Structure 1
Amino acid sequence: MTDLLLAKAHYPVTTLGPGTRAGIWTQGCTLHCQGCLSRDTWDADPAKAVPVDAVLGWLRSLPAPLDGITISGGEPFQQPEAVLELVSGVRAWQAELGHESIPLDILVYSGYVYTRLSRSLAAREILNRCDAVITGPYVDRLNPEGRHSPGGSLLWRGSANQRVVPLSGLGRRRYAAAAGEESNRDDTPRMQVSVDEGPEGRRVYYIGIPRRGDLDHLTSTLEQAGVRAGDVSWRP
């Protein structure tokens, strides 16, 4: 049985791929992109280890609708054995029920460029079981200004250098438009909010792809209303 270092799992997610999705964030990343909004997922904390079977059990327990699964991080490809077991388990579950009864797609994010992933046997094994991958490091200067961004938006991407690569027939149907340089789907929500109660108290998570300056503007607005954010994951 393989353990996955897991930062968070959440349902429903509506901002990281098409439809209503389950979100899985891995824990641990050595890429450390400047301006990363998820610094809390950098450390490969062994206390975050969860059996892959437990994650698969959670996925099986979710209600409809479930249009897809988004795996982000952290850096999923720094846990290739666990992530391969996870995506293989999802495909086995689909095969049990019949693919047509649950036509969900698997989208995975990576800070590595696609050419590097395609040269790795372990990464290719994962990608062969996914429907789309979004690749490339986050580059802060290539993330448009939130409230002043002209034209279209970078659908499901953090910065313009990142690439959406469909990997299957279902992936091409659902991600072909996003694979272009820009999308004009400005009506697509960029962020949603999740509030979790834990042993350390209440934590607020912002799920999605904010534009540069969005979170600082949100923090400032909350403070003006008397709500103090405290420690945040997007500042050192």
Structure 2
Amino acid sequence: MKWLQRLPIILYLGINSTYAATVKVYAAASLSSALNDISKLYQKQYPNTKIIGVYGASSQLAKHIEARAPSDLFLSADQDWMQYLIGKNKVQANHVHLLLSNQLVLIQTKGKPIAFQPSAAFNFAQSLQGRLCTGQMESVPLGKYAKQSLSQLQWLSSLKGRIVEADDARAALAFVERGECRLGIVYKTDALMSHKMQIVGAFPTNSHHPIEYPIALTRQGQKNKAAQQFSQFLQTNAQVKLIFKRYGFLLPDKSLG
């Protein structure tokens, strides 16, 4: 809660009086690297606009927006937290569009990969031989997807006491990189970014809900012309699409609105 109280100060530290407009983007941690590159690209084309990114778990960001933290755009790592803000009247349903999708993978540090078969017949608990890290399973999108897959594969109960739940997707990756967990369930995009990690295998897409990243202007953002322009830039610019693809994201064909 103390962090929430400091949030507006943290945001405004990045604002320079030379900028004519500012766009505050709240986005899932797994989007941070791609969005930082895109923000630099945008500010080269529109030097009078400052893009300020705030990254974290979609659950935490949604709660901050609900608590009236200044924000213009919300990019969630699942549909649930976007729907949550619609229910709180912080986002209008007709402003929500599907921006990207992702994949769920199992990772370990580089070396001889463990045995892995994504089927109920496979004894994953025995193959693990240590701890497994992912996001918080009741709130963080990554953890929710992981829980769905582990449940569908009938592995969850056998892993009781061996799962480490991180605050967001990037934190889950860091746990495995530091050797605090033998394996991790993370987004493919995060796995591809790490030079220390290797992908052991992918979880079947039918074992979890679709990993979708919706984007929407907040109520504040609807009044900010610069935010509207940046939102369109994210959804339509050809260079932006190439950046997302380079990081391993999948581009959908249709909007949700």
TM-score over 0.5 for the pair: no
Give TM-score scaled by structure 2 length: 0.30
Bigger relative contact order (CA 8 A; separation at least 6)? 2
Give TM-score scaled by structure 1 length: 0.32
* Bigger Rg, which one: 2
